[in-house]
A = this chain, B = another copy of it.
Amino acid sequence: MSMQTSVNIKSFSEDTRKSLLSTAGEVFAEFGFHAATVREICRRADVNVAAINYHFGSKEELYLQVLESAHNEAARKYPYAASKDEPPEKRLEGFILSFMQGFLDKGRASWHGKLMAREMVEPTVALKRMVERTIRPRNVFLTEAVREIMGGKFSDEEIARSVFSIIGQCLFYSHASAVIARLKPEINCGADGAGQTASHIIRFSLAALKHMPLNKKGVTPFEGVTPFDGAK
């Protein structure tokens, strides 16, 4: 291993590593794992193309280490978990705002959130780890708040689906940003609109959680109705 003793004016090794890690986070967050190319990463980091394989072994291993460091960085920056003794509504509020900032913000702070949003749509080998390490804990936290808000009359499945409904609203602004920009360019859905967006999702979701009717067992709203079978 390297580890030169004493101080070095130029300790290239560590510099190149860190530079690559940082630049790769930027490029992966921008293009996703598959569309990002090692040549683009190395060009931005101003290092030779061979550097990635020398320092990390492969593009995939670099990606995994980027996720690792981005995770740690994000965990410091966005500790979504408000203290447990806050009322569930406050916890939900806090979660939604920090969750959305986590992928709408600009700069390194949002890399992990963007990578997570991409990993959902276009999974890589990292998905399993990301689910257990990041997504499941957040899901548990959110589920507990939602359960308290909804009261005791709903099944676990209904609660889980309500959590999905909340997350789905949030992720829409990440996954469908290209469509939003074309469809409703007047709506501020970027980083500076995160507060507005979160505010709407919170009001929408709290109203839903507090007023959603029970699902009549065995009866869907469409039972016996085929209103959209226009084609034969």
Contacts and interface: CB of A to CB of B under 8 A. Distances in A.
A212 interface: yes
Chain A interface helix/strand/loop/mixed: helix
Size class of the A contact interface (CB-based, 8 Å): 35 or more
A217 to B, nearest CB: 11
B182 A127 contact: yes
Contacts of A208: 204-205, 207-208, 211
B215 A199 contact: yes
18 contacts: A77-B230, A79-B230, A101-B228, A121-B175, A127-B179, A157-B187, A160-B184, A160-B187, A161-B197, A165-B169, A165-B201, A168-B171, A172-B172, A199-B222, A203-B212, A203-B215, A205-B208, A208-B211
Interface of A: 34-35, 76-80, 82, 90, 93-94, 97-98, 101, 120-123, 127-128, 131, 135-136, 139, 157-158, 160-162, 164-165, 167-173, 175-176, 178-180, 182-184, 186-187, 195-205, 207-208, 210-213, 215, 220-222, 227-228, 230-231
